[in-house]
Amino acid sequence: MRHRLTLAAVLGVALAAAVVTALPARRDPDTSTNGRLQLVASNAGDNKPMVSNSLDGRAIFTIVGLQPGQSRSGQVTVKNAGSAPETVAVWQSGLTTGPAGRPNLAAWAQLRVYDAALNKTVYTGAYQDFPTILRPMLLCGVPSAKDSCPRWAKGETHVFTFTVTFPDVPKGSAVNINTYQSTRLQSEFDWVSAI
């Protein structure tokens, strides 16, 4: 069963539950725009899910006017809703950026995923480099004396904090941060019980 956490970016309008968007704003005050970033979680599939999330189809957070150098975070709780221990995995799919011919926002934006149950960061890096279905990220359950990366126990929950950062450029860099104005990215995060 698939459980989705979807990200995308759009200017000044609310999005459907299936999409989330983030657009950088220019640094020039007279030409700046307000971008909105929403992070939405949704479940997909039929029958009762083995892995569920707390925000199915609802926004985890909304960002308006994200500027270079700023970050925003939101949380989702993921639960083993099955009747036995489960191996849980997550991957990113459907990553798109645009418009064509513009800088790749997914290569510039940074993503950090923190698991409060384990008290550790499980991913940090370029947004576009988050694992895909070809190499999904396995998520450890709460460690025990016997196993440092067990399956999730029945009913085990983890609160994941997703932090998206739009980095500023270092002083003296040749990168023109304004070239990211009105660029966008969109992707989906699928949570599954892996076998």
| Residue 150: per-residue pLDDT | 95
| Residue 160: per-residue pLDDT | 92
Q: DSSP string covering 99-113, please? A: STTS--HHHHSEEEE
- 10: CB partners within 8 A, 6+ apart: 19, 21, 23, 35, 36, 184
94 torsion bin: left (phi>0), alpha (psi -120 to 50), beta (else): left
Digits of tens for pLDDT over the chain (195 positions)? 344 444 433 322 222 222 233 333 333 332 223 333 444 444 444 445 587 777 666 655 666 566 788 888 888 899 998 889 999 998 888 888 888 998 888 899 899 999 999 999 999 999 999 999 889 999 999 998 889 999 999 999 999 998 989 898 888 888 888 888 878 777 777 778 876
Q: Is 92 helix (H, G, I), strand (E, B) or coil?
A: strand
Question: What letter does residue 147 receive in the DSSP assignment?
Answer: -
| Residue 92: per-residue pLDDT | 85
| Residue 151: per-residue pLDDT | 95
Q: Which amino acid is at 111?
A: L
Give the predicted TM-score (pTM) of the model.
0.76
**How far is it, in rounded angstroms, from Cα 13 to Cα 8?**
12
| Residue 195: per-residue pLDDT | 62
**How far is it, in rounded angstroms, from Cα 107 to Cα 3?**
25
Q: Distance from CA of residue 185 to its chain's centroid?
A: 11
**How far is it, in rounded angstroms, from Cα 137 to Cα 130?**
9
| Residue 105: per-residue pLDDT | 86
